[in-house]
Amino acid sequence: MTSPHGRLRDLGITLPTPPPPAASYVQTRLVDIGQGRSLLYVAGQVSRDGDQYLTGRCPDQVSVVEAAHRARQCALSILAQMEAAIGLDNVIEMSQVLGYVLSAEGFAEHPKVLNGASELLVEVLGAAGKHTRMALGTNALPFSATVEIAAVAVVRTG
């Protein structure tokens, strides 16, 4: 069985440096649920490439395909935060992904955008990357980012 790090290597992906919080909060929080397991909450990660925010409203300023790529960037930041907090080898399963898409009025293809993140999580974590999900549209996101995604995972801590 290939590890998450092996899958990242096979995919040619290097995790980004976990971005610091943009305001007064923490990027991750572990909540003990017993038997050597915890819930790992990862704060919303906005679409960015390095230090540059990836901005624009979908689909009038950014295509659905490009927005899905930006959701994938958010998932890379989530994986980077998880690696820094507990290590990807300790992920038992992704529980939930909460995604927000900066949307033009009438846009309803949020699930297609969030597939960019969901598919990457499964590529990297295998079956443990499967999760429940919520995909929402909104008229504003921090820094005018195209996508913001938060996540919850069950992890080994004992």
| 75 within domain boundaries | yes
**Residue-wise pLDDT tens digits, 102-116:** 999 999 999 999 999
Residue 21 forms part of a structural domain:
no
CA distance 43 to 19: 11
Domain count, the chain: 1
Local structure of 6: helix, strand or coil: helix
pLDDT of 1 reads: 65
- For tokens 């004992």, the residue is 158
In a domain, 122, yes or no: yes
Could you give phi then psi for residue 2, rounded to 5 degrees? Answer: -80, 140
22 domain-assigned? no
Asked whether residue 87 carries a pLDDT value surpassing 70, the answer given is: yes
Is residue 9 in a domain? Answer: yes
pLDDT digits (tens, 9 = 90+) for 41-53: 999 999 999 889 9
H-helix segments, the chain? 4-11, 64-85, 110-125
Mean of pLDDT values over 120-137: 98
Cα–Cα distance, 96 to 152 (Å, whole number): 5
State the residue range of the domain holding 48.
Answer: 4-14+27-156
Residue 19 placed within a domain: no
Is 130 part of a structural domain of the chain?
A: yes
Which CATH number characterizes residue 113's domain? 3.30.1330.40
